[in-house]
Amino acid sequence: MPKLTHAIVMLIFAVTGCSTLPPSQATATTRNFSAPTLAPTSEIIIRNSQELYGDTTPFGGVGQNSIAAAALPNEAALPPLLSGTREPSGAESVQLLLDSGEVIIGDLYEQISPESRVAGVLIIGRDRLSWGLLPVELFGAGFTVLVLELPQTVRVTDLDALLTSFSEAATVDPSRIAVIGAEGSADMALLACATFAICDAVVMLTPQGRDTLLNVLPNFSPRPVFVSAAQNDTEGYPIAVAIASQFAEGSQFVEVAAGRGTSLLALNSDLSRTIATWLRGVFS
């Protein structure tokens, strides 16, 4: 396969959201591609501010207001800025800063573990509320989860900045990070992760750009991919099948009866749990 060109790296995607539909009980068909195998990332050395600067606060301070963040080198990624507002779900509102100066808002479900950092899951899309119970399911499975609400237009390099910022959170293990997207944001997730090795796994709900995704998939391999699409989706299903045909070992393809993008989660009640179980296997 040809190597990813600079033109693809700077490709601009319009990230589209999906409205959550009423829940129902649909049947899913799962295709496993052997036991999950996480590609080694030992050559990627990413340390957070606590490791670099010996922050003495319990969990690395509170983002940009912490001593550790102030001590970061010039132009280094800043950890998410906590707003102090906690939702009933347990999420805390945060802000992240792009290189352009644009502020991205999100919800952080943080595992407070003094013993060790945990695997992190970054969820990207246009609407933070469209993911239903998936963030809570992932949080309950032991992950630190960050759900980001992206602007209408976002570059692949912007996602690299957001991932690096997420890796600076003191409860996240930067060597174990997954990204989840739906439709346009699913494409963005794979494009960015094929370019920047900080990603270890990608979850794609109804991917869209068949040719582009098949072109960059070898750059992401042998890291695993989870893809889900509905059998009645005449556009999205063939794309998901094409991607599944070139999966690396440890990947998984889940066919469901109905839905598209984030609505797959609402129309197929077991899908959130299936994603969480797969990611636990990847990072075990």
Closest to 202 measured CA to CA, from 139, 161, 258, 247: 247
Spatial strand order of the sheet with 118-125 comes to: 29-32, 252-256, 225-230, 201-205, 172-182, 118-125, 144-149, 103-109, 92-97, 81-86
Q: What is the pLDDT of residue 143?
A: 95
Q: What is the pLDDT of residue 170?
A: 85
Place of tokens 């992950």: 143
Which residue type is seen at 87? E
Name residues whose C-beta falls within 8 Å of residue 183's C-beta, 6 or more positions apart in sequence.
16, 18, 205, 206, 207, 208, 236, 260, 261
Q: What is the pLDDT of residue 86?
A: 59
Query: Domain limits of the chain?
Result: 6-11+23-283
Q: What is the pLDDT of residue 16?
A: 43
Q: Measure the CA–CA gap between 206 and 80, rounded to whole angstroms.
A: 28
Q: What is the pLDDT of residue 30?
A: 63
Closest to 107 measured CA to CA, from 121, 125, 87: 87
Q: What is the pTM of this model?
A: 0.74
Domain covering 6-11+23-283 in this structure, CATH number: 3.40.50.1820
Q: Measure the CA–CA gap between 151 and 112, rounded to whole angstroms.
A: 29
Q: Which residues of the chain have pLDDT under 50?
A: 1-25, 34-76
CA distances to 112, 165, 194, 226, 254 from 223, in Å:
28, 21, 9, 10, 18
Buried b (16+ CB within 10 A) or exposed e, 172-189: bbbbbbbbbbbbbbbbbb
- Cβ atoms 14, 153 nearer than 8 A: yes
Q: What is the pLDDT of residue 32?
A: 55
- Cβ atoms 61, 71 nearer than 8 A: no
SS3 82: strand
